[in-house]
Amino acid sequence: MAEIRCHSCGKTNPANSEFCSFCQAVLGSTAVGNVQEPSLNSEYHPTNETLPDPVETNQVSQGRDPSMEGKNPLAGLDNALPLEPTVRDLTKPVVYPVQSSETDIQKAYTLLLSQMVKDETKRPTYTRSAPKKSQSILRIVVAGILFFTILVPILWNKPAAQLPSLSTELILFDQKISELSPGATVLYSVDYDPSATAEMEAASWAVINQLMARDIQLVLVSTTPTGPVQAARLVQNIISTQQNQVGSPLPASQIINLGLIPGGSAGLASFSENPSFFLKDATEMQMGENPASEQTQPVLDLTSISNLAMVVVVTDTPETARNWIEQVQPWLGGKPLMMILSAQAEPLIQSYYEGGIRQVEGVVISVAGGAGYEELVGIKGPALEMWSAFVNASWIAGTLIILAGMIHLVYTQMVQEKQGSGEKTS
């Protein structure tokens, strides 16, 4: 005796039953390929040329049959779009259920006909439109204008149009750094994707300089997979700049690269609960890898992260920033949590340092923040270098969006009128 397995609840029903006796799902359309009778599956191998056949159309009908509504948990749903009936059966091995009566077939044909008509009217006939010329022209024009406005101030290195305004967060940031006692340990998390390196290094350059100037002991960690390399690159840059400025390489104990904190938010949580667990791996990992981090003595007192004098998080994604705020900040025991954010993280993190409860005590945001901080502490770094070009770029970008948007709107309207067809552009 043939049996049909129900598609939605998986239980088996006698083949001549129309609905699953357990979950009331319609069996005809869903039982295809699940029929237990081997002869049906093994012998019949249809091709795409299979003509629409009574039973197949019968299956087609069932998703739409008004009398079925409410039987199948989903058949009754308006707007719950049945994929099987319209699509799946076009290419499906056809199976002959035991019950297929004349009336079924006739009903099926009529329904199929109406279905086909409806589909022909509804379905957009598919044409693989080649990339429009206007689009690529638009792209090239935008690129040209943008490049030009950026290149001008770079070439004739024009002084910054107007120095960025100092936000209160910057001043707070500087206060907190100046409150640090020399030799204190600062956790500095390098948490940005490689693609954001330019922006984040411009934003963080002045901060790192200030930390180095107060000979802070910097502990580098990261939660992003490429983070350790970024940290090592950072160490290299710091060492080279130190050699350029002071002339003497800084003591190896001053920067320690702890490497990766894996496991995302959960990993951060367990790091903030007992850092020593990660410390073990980190110290072992560090052996003979990074010249700047051979000596790992000072880290070993990192039994709890409240021993840290400050935590500075440099990140470009709001998710990472929120992880640090939610997982680490509660454990800091009042020690400040600082953030150096990319512009794309700003809107979502805003509420954490503007709100009534300030969970983040100071932020440097993007190039503007970096330039502002360099201006505040009176050093000339990458942020100030790119500042004027950045200002031009942002202004021209806004203008482009408005003007070109208007032009493009008018253009498309004209084109549509020319075509005179009501084809939808959206």
Interface residue with other proteins, options 39, 103, 121, 165 (CB under 8 A): 165
3-state secondary structure of 113: helix
Nearer to other proteins by Cβ, of 98 and 143: the residue is 143
| Contact indicator for 39, 66 with CB cutoff of 8 Å | no
103: which residues sit within 8 A by CB, 6+ positions away? Answer: none
| Nearest-approach distance from CB 102 to other proteins, in angstroms | 29
| Nearest-approach distance from CB 214 to other proteins, in angstroms | 25
Spatial distance between the Cα atoms of 362 and 210, rounded to a whole number of angstroms = 15
Nearer to other proteins by Cβ, of 216 and 282: the residue is 282
Check binding of 135 to other proteins (CB under 8 A): yes
Piece of 94-102, 246-254, 275-283, 302-310 that binds other proteins (CB under 8 A): 275-283
Interface residue with other proteins, options 105, 166, 229, 309 (CB under 8 A): 229
| Contact indicator for 372, 170 with CB cutoff of 8 Å | yes
Tokens 């290419």: give the residue.
91
Kind plus residue range of the DSSP H or E element containing 13: strand 12-14
- Binding to other proteins, residues 284-343 (CB under 8 A): 284-285, 289-290, 316-319, 322, 326, 330, 342-343
Piece of 98-106, 172-180, 300-308, 406-414 that binds other proteins (CB under 8 A): 406-414
Spatial distance between the Cα atoms of 347 and 9, rounded to a whole number of angstroms = 45
3-state secondary structure of 260: strand
In the chain the first and final C-alpha atoms are separated, in Å, by 53
Nearer to other proteins by Cβ, of 79 and 181: the residue is 79
| Contact indicator for 234, 190 with CB cutoff of 8 Å | yes
Nearer to other proteins by Cβ, of 133 and 182: the residue is 133
Pairing relationship of beta strands 3-5 and 12-14 according to DSSP bridges: antiparallel
Spatial distance between the Cα atoms of 315 and 50, rounded to a whole number of angstroms = 57
- Binding to other proteins, residues 13-42 (CB under 8 A): 23-25, 33-34, 41
| Nearest-approach distance from CB 96 to other proteins, in angstroms | 18
DSSP letter string over 303-350? SSGGGSSEEEEEES-HHHHHHIIIIIGGGSTT--EEEEE-TTTHHHHH
Spatial distance between the Cα atoms of 358 and 18, rounded to a whole number of angstroms = 63
Nearer to other proteins by Cβ, of 105 and 193: the residue is 193
Spatial distance between the Cα atoms of 251 and 205, rounded to a whole number of angstroms = 20
Interface residue with other proteins, options 18, 193, 213, 252 (CB under 8 A): 193
Interface residue with other proteins, options 26, 190, 312, 367 (CB under 8 A): 367
Instruction: Build a one-symbol-per-residue string for 62-81: x at contacts with other proteins by CB under 8 A, - elsewhere.
Output: -------xxx-xx-xxxxxx
| Nearest-approach distance from CB 170 to other proteins, in angstroms | 14
| Nearest-approach distance from CB 179 to other proteins, in angstroms | 22
| Nearest-approach distance from CB 270 to other proteins, in angstroms | 6
| Nearest-approach distance from CB 115 to other proteins, in angstroms | 12
Instruction: Build a one-symbol-per-residue string for 145-164: x at contacts with other proteins by CB under 8 A, - elsewhere.
Output: -xx--xx--xx-----xx-x
Cα–Cα distance list, 418 to 131, 137, 358, 408 (Å)? 20, 20, 57, 15
| Nearest-approach distance from CB 193 to other proteins, in angstroms | 6
Nearer to other proteins by Cβ, of 177 and 192: the residue is 192
- Binding to other proteins, residues 407-426 (CB under 8 A): 408-409, 411-413, 425-426
Q: What b-and-e string marks burial along 99-137, b requiring 16 or more CB atoms within 10 Å of the CB?
A: eeeeebbebbbebbeebeeeeeeeeeeeeeeeeeeeeee
Nearer to other proteins by Cβ, of 180 and 400: the residue is 400
Nearer to other proteins by Cβ, of 177 and 232: the residue is 232
Piece of 98-106, 116-124, 177-185, 302-310 that binds other proteins (CB under 8 A): 116-124
Check binding of 390 to other proteins (CB under 8 A): yes
| Nearest-approach distance from CB 101 to other proteins, in angstroms | 26
Nearer to other proteins by Cβ, of 146 and 213: the residue is 146
Structure tokens at 365: 């945001």
Neighbours of 142 (CB within 10 A): 15
Nearer to other proteins by Cβ, of 117 and 198: the residue is 198
